[in-house]
Structure 1
Amino acid sequence: MRRSEAIALALLVGLLLAGCRPAPEAPTPLLPALADQADTLDRISLAQAGGKRMLVRQEGRWWIENEHWPVSRGWLDPLLVALLDARCDEPRTARPEHFARLGLVWPPTEIDPMAGMAFARPTGRLGFYFGPTPTYLYIGHPHPRGGSFVRVEGAPASCLSHADLRLPVTLSEWREPLLLDAPWWAPLEVGVAEAEAGPVQWLRPDEPAHAALWSAAASLRQIELRPAVLPLPPAQRRLHLRAADGRLKVIELRGRPERTWARVDAPEPRYAGREFRLPHDVAVALWMPLADAGASP
């Protein structure tokens, strides 16, 4: 047999043998039960530096248990979507003494070896109640080339998942930042009243001088909540938002532009006995002098 024929035959045999080899196994899902129970899952525990929370689903919406406040969809929805497809793409260490280096322990170690690094992100532990007892998932540090270190409690090893699994920096960020629900995001009318019993001056939506105040009133956000210390001092300013269906919502403002607290005059439990701190960009516009805003009587 000539040398060229021998080489061709060897290549052919190699190809045939390669075709007989079993295909590599696909990476296993991190939470296989999530795909089947995504619509019925109604309880998730959350532990991050600073404390713990229990998230519960009621009437199609996620709430922070015992706070009567909705969960931020901006954080929870992307996380759940990413976890539906998250897999153990690259098995990593099975040695518990190495888990802390990857951010895969709870409570976290006192000294975080990744603290201050450019690609460091918050870590935490989530418990998914697919049954009576939770399935715990540890979300650790991100990999500098993408993906996140993860560990499912009881699994033989930790993993690098190519999914982008992000947690907020603080527990308070799990609260929905929007202070009001629809239809108050697009009010039909916005009015402002000075002091406790001042007359309401209704703004004109087509007036450029009203734009900043109108926009701020229609996009109220909270960055902190606290129990209201009763009796509250008189409100310094009141916002009146009227929906297209005629309903009226009144928000009392107290403080100053750099530190404004709002109280929502509404019967819902989430607002009862509470004040909400507004972010600076919203507060500054809400304190705009009415003369400058061009308010109309």
Structure 2
Amino acid sequence: MTLNCKGKLIDLTVPKVMGILNITPDSFYDGGQHKNENAVLKHVELMLHQGATFIDVGAYSSRPNADHVSEAHELKRILPIVNLILKEFPEVLLSIDTFRSQVAKQCIAAGAALVNDISAGKLDHNMLQTIADLHVPYIMMHMKGTPQTMQQQTNYDDIIKDMLFYFSERIAAARQLGIVDIIVDPGFGFAKTLEQNYELLNKLEHFKMIDKPVLVGVSRKSMIYKTLETSAKESLNGTSVLNTIALQKNASILRVHDVKEAMECIKLVESLNA
């Protein structure tokens, strides 16, 4: 499988790493860490040096019960950072973590390469058409409700079947508009209980039938630190364990806070498959 990012073909035969750059003050793990331009550039440089193929920039925290942020404020946060990063690292493949079509449109116009939408187009009905017009890769995640309501929406008849139906419907809608490069994200922690997250990881190989690259984002999430009775700060080892399992179950992209360790997981799993 390949992705066309700004005319560059990214081969996903060997899994890739997406490094997380949160510029929100209230992200669950690294909120408020990147407060100035120097801190942002240093972090991006480190992630690229450690092997990240993509850098995912988000200006709207999607953690459970996060504060709502207006579109104008999201743009005010994210556009200067996109411009800053691309000025310093013009070849970087920036992913824009947003569910708003106008934010996606303006960031892609500024030079970003792909869009990462937690709602798969369900929170902004202009998103799919915008992606089709922009001709960029699109990450569609599974979630019910909004970040503010999702934890009350964890009822499923059969979580895997329900999610496969969800993705088949969203992919069909995207294809109808001419969107070619689609990545699916099962959305660990989004409208899912702790037990459902582990059921999802245990059955991740079922998503092969969608025939699209699968992105997994479990980095330092509560499914790790609640199980281990620890904290997000102490969840790196647990993250590496779950990333390894995800790779063995067909994950093509790991979205992580810790790039070096994720790259090591990929290298070791690839050695098993050599």
The bucket for the TM-score relative to the shorter chain is under 0.3
Higher relative contact order (CA 8 A, sep 6+): 2
Higher strand share: 1
Considering only CA atoms, is the larger Rg found in Structure 1 or Structure 2? 1
Higher helix share: 2
> Structure 2 length as normaliser, TM-score?
0.23
> Structure 1 length as normaliser, TM-score?
0.21
